[in-house]
Amino acid sequence: MRRLRVLFCTPEFVCTPEFGDYVQVGGLGAVSSALPRALRSIADVRVIVPGYSQVLAAFHTLEIVAECPPIAGMPACSIARSETADGLSIYVVVCPQLFERDGGPYGDVNGVDWPDNDVRFARYAAAAAWVADGGIPDWRADLVHANDWQCGLIPAYLAWRGSSVQSLFTVHNLAYQGLFSHASAEKLGVPSAAFNIHGVEFHGQLSFMKSGLFYSNHISTVSTNYAREIITSEHGCGLDGLLRARAEQRRLTGILNGIDASWDPRRCPDLMPQFGPGEWKGRHLNALGVRREFGLALTRGPLFGLVARLVHQKGIDLVVQSAEAIAQAGGQLVIMGSGDAEIIKDLEQVQRRHPRSVGVMTQFKDSLARRIFAGSDFTLLPSRFEPCGLSQMYAQRLGSLPIAHNTGGLADTIADGKTGLLFNRASSDAFLGAICRAFALFGRKRELHAMRRRAMACEYGWNTSASRYGSLYERLQLA
């Protein structure tokens, strides 16, 4: 039998470390790198990405395989094909006026969103739908796997084309919805009949996220618990009614993300030194290195780490409120990430008050992030909501016990008192209570080491996730 043909659509893509980086803003890039590779054993998977400058520079050869015509008020574009070093097929939507810019995928060098993101990601989406529906020679998709709001119009364009190609839409974070003015609809080729409650309209605006939820054949989320949460008014971001309807139709599935083998502490080249379960001296030496890199005192107290986007969702304000107590109790805190300027200002003020106990770095460095996980005793994850979260998996794999809010994928991956510590309300009191539990646990070394061993034994490889996606792909083909 012919293998299932899947077009994996993502606005971010990262090669695994041994093949080098392309474009990543958050966890979506890591997922979009690892999952298509894990799926290759069960399907003919090809990835399609926008032609950002960083993407074009990453390939030595790009072969133009088709010219995609303009649509409505959007320009024509080219479709180029290449391969990663390990043979994964990549299609690139080449449109210099939209994608070849200094800055990130979504905004300029100052982090300000591009004003034409509606046109940029609609052009990408329309091109992806065109490729999936046979726009290039010798290949047509059976199924499109579209990821997050930037890909939300892909299922819609397929539907408006009358295509028989099935679509799966994965929600990585419902809070980011891709909302644009009603005036965008005409230039994006949105049929007038689609701009209503049973289509792309959301409170008078055009919603890329709602488009994906409404027009896709099936919806998935990145953890089972998050799939349950988003059908509630608390976590549904105004889309809970539509999502409840999809759940009742059995068109909503939660599949937990995974992490790749590069996070094995026995082999990770960024650790100094590498270590395995029970080799606590190796963790201790990584902790010493982290303390030196952040200019902290060499103490015997617990080291708390935080590697995250520094935004309200991640509960960083709770960390600011608790940092004083951590320092006064003899603990230390290292924080790495970028994000909201006001939050960063608050963190830097705490650092100035406790320069030997609190370290802050506002630029992300992957190698240092790995050493923070490998050297910290506890990883702080006070997110108000967390669709999946990868940091708790990284932390557990490297022997750092997560302290996390009992929500989303954090609840799916942390067993309280066994592989980490959970607290039930996103409040400073509840968070501080969990930190106090951590201090007490740190003094009970036998229990601490037993929890570390259990955490490091947790299996979060991509094969299980890929198998579940494969079953879902087959179900969609049989529908």
281-340 per-position pLDDT tens digit: 999 999 999 999 999 999 999 999 999 999 999 999 999 999 999 999 999 999 999 999
Question: Rounded distance, CA 405 to CA 51, Å?
Answer: 37
Question: Rounded distance, CA 51 to CA 148, Å?
Answer: 18
Residue 154 near residue 209, CB atoms below 8 Å: no
Q: What is the dihedral of CA 386, 157, 160, 172, to 10 degrees?
A: -10
Residue 422 near residue 381, CB atoms below 8 Å: no
Q: What is the DSSP letter of 119?
A: H
Q: Give me the residue spans of the domains in the chain.
A: 5-259+462-478, 261-456
Residue 28 near residue 10, CB atoms below 8 Å: yes
Indicate the pairing of strand 166-171 with strand 218-221: parallel
What is the pTM for the complete model shown? Answer: 0.94
The CATH homologous superfamily for domain 261-456 is: Glycogen Phosphorylase B; (3.40.50.2000)
Q: How far is CA 334 from CA 261, 304, 319, in A?
A: 25, 6, 11
Fold assignment, 5-259+462-478: Rossmann fold (3.40.50)
Residue 158 near residue 144, CB atoms below 8 Å: yes
Counting Cα atoms < 13 Å in the Cβ hemisphere of 195 gives: 15
Q: What is the dihedral of CA 459, 464, 469, 470, to 10 degrees?
A: 160
Q: How far is CA 35 from CA 45, 121, 310, in A?
A: 10, 22, 26
For the chain, 479 residues long, give each residue's pLDDT as a single digit of tens.
Answer: 579 999 999 999 865 444 444 445 567 888 888 999 999 999 999 999 999 998 998 887 899 999 999 999 999 999 999 999 889 999 999 999 999 999 889 999 888 999 999 999 999 999 999 999 999 989 999 999 999 999 999 999 999 999 999 999 999 999 999 999 999 999 999 999 999 999 999 999 999 999 999 999 999 999 999 999 999 999 999 999 999 999 999 999 999 999 988 999 999 999 999 999 999 999 999 999 999 999 999 999 999 999 999 999 999 999 999 999 999 999 999 999 999 999 999 999 999 999 999 999 998 898 999 999 999 999 999 999 999 999 999 999 999 999 999 999 999 999 999 999 999 999 999 999 999 999 999 999 999 999 999 999 999 999 999 999 999 999 998 87
Question: Rounded distance, CA 469 to CA 39, Å?
Answer: 8
Tell me which residue of 160, 130, 169, 165 sits closest to 48, measured CA to CA.
130
Residue 240 near residue 232, CB atoms below 8 Å: yes
261-456 has the same fold as 5-259+462-478:
yes
Provide CB contacts within 8 A for 253, sequence distance 6+: 218, 219, 220, 221, 227, 472
Token pair, residue 190, equals 């949105």
Question: Rounded distance, CA 424 to CA 466, Å?
Answer: 31
